[in-house]
Amino acid sequence: MPADPPRRHLTPVGAVEYGSVAEFLASEISSGHHEIHRGLPIDLLVEDRGASTTVAAFHASAPDHVTRLPMLSGQGLTAAAGVNLLAIADPSLVMHPELKLGWYLGNRPQGPFRTLAKPLIEHVLAQLGSTRTVFFGASGGGFAAGALSQDFPDSLALLCNPRLDLRRPPHAAVRDYLVHCHAAHSATPQRRIRAEFVPDALDDQWDGAPANTIAIIQNRQDRVYHDQQFLPFARRHAEHSSVFHLLRDDGEGHRHVPRAELERVISSLAQTPSFPDALRELGFRTSPPADGESQDMASSDP
């Protein structure tokens, strides 16, 4: 049997450490790495660029080559766009070396992550003094960004080729999450914990429409995510003016949205007073594409 990959958590040099959530919330926050101890480490990276817009970034599944935690995303993208950054690592990944994704749902030592994260995010945004917040994530990180953004009604959730439903293909390793993060090895505890921690879909707890603005960038050639994740969600929210999408042709398979496109989108969002106005100017739509429809927009970057 192969040995577990040597993934482990290492506190970055120069990180500011806090013994509790209360200590963090009582502290002034500046640029740098912040590590909060609450059963497991909660890692935040803050970059204050003096901007009025802050991007809260959530990472996707950990690649096989990643052996060091925490995983933090968004540094280069937000620097290029000139906006502030709050990058948040999923604390659950430290619980088992084979766990690649926890969707920021939470874990047994810490409880539901959305409840834990809300005051942390509020405190950082207040310290930055920004007035506009973009929750950003791709794939499984998109599920997290969409979920956590619901506690911030004035925010925008920018989701790239996102997981939107944990029941539909491609297979979501929810059982691995339940076993590694909650020590739930049999059906009865798995049902109980799933009911408390794991929504079936991003919009499970919405009151019809989202509390904020949702913007999805979807690669049409990512057939499984386009057909099984994006289309059912877009059709459910066809009448909601706060759910936008932008279709691209970025090549076959589940791949990244090109960096230049993300810079274009985030820069425009930061410069336009209204999120919906910026999205419309960027080519986002609110009605779902019809079967077989090719959305008229830019193809993949060369």
140 burial type by CB count under 10 A (0-12 exposed, 13-18 middle, 19+ buried): buried
On whether residue 242 sits in a domain, the answer given is: yes
Residues 6-46: tens digit of each pLDDT = 578 999 999 999 999 999 999 999 999 999 999 999 999 99
Residue 3, SS3? coil
Unique residue bearing structure tokens 């997290």? 144
Query: How far apart are the C-alpha atoms of 102 and 118, rounded to whole Å?
Result: 17
On whether residue 252 sits in a domain, the answer given is: yes
On whether residue 296 sits in a domain, the answer given is: no
On whether residue 69 sits in a domain, the answer given is: yes
Q: Residue 221: phi, psi to the nearest 5?
A: -85, 0
On whether residue 8 sits in a domain, the answer given is: no
pTM of the model: 0.94
Query: How far apart are the C-alpha atoms of 24 and 22, rounded to whole Å?
Result: 5
On whether residue 43 sits in a domain, the answer given is: yes
Q: Of the candidates 240, 187, 245, which has an alpha carbon nearest to the alpha carbon of residue 215?
A: 245
User: Domain range spanning residue 244?
Assistant: 14-282
On whether residue 4 sits in a domain, the answer given is: no
Residues 91-136: tens digit of each pLDDT = 999 999 989 999 999 999 999 999 999 999 999 999 999 999 999 9
Mean predicted confidence (pLDDT) in 222-235: 97
Tally of domains within the chain: 1
For residue 178, the domain's CATH number is 3.40.50.1820
Query: How far apart are the C-alpha atoms of 178 and 181, rounded to whole Å?
Result: 6
Residue 222, SS3? coil
pLDDT the model gives residue 295: 45
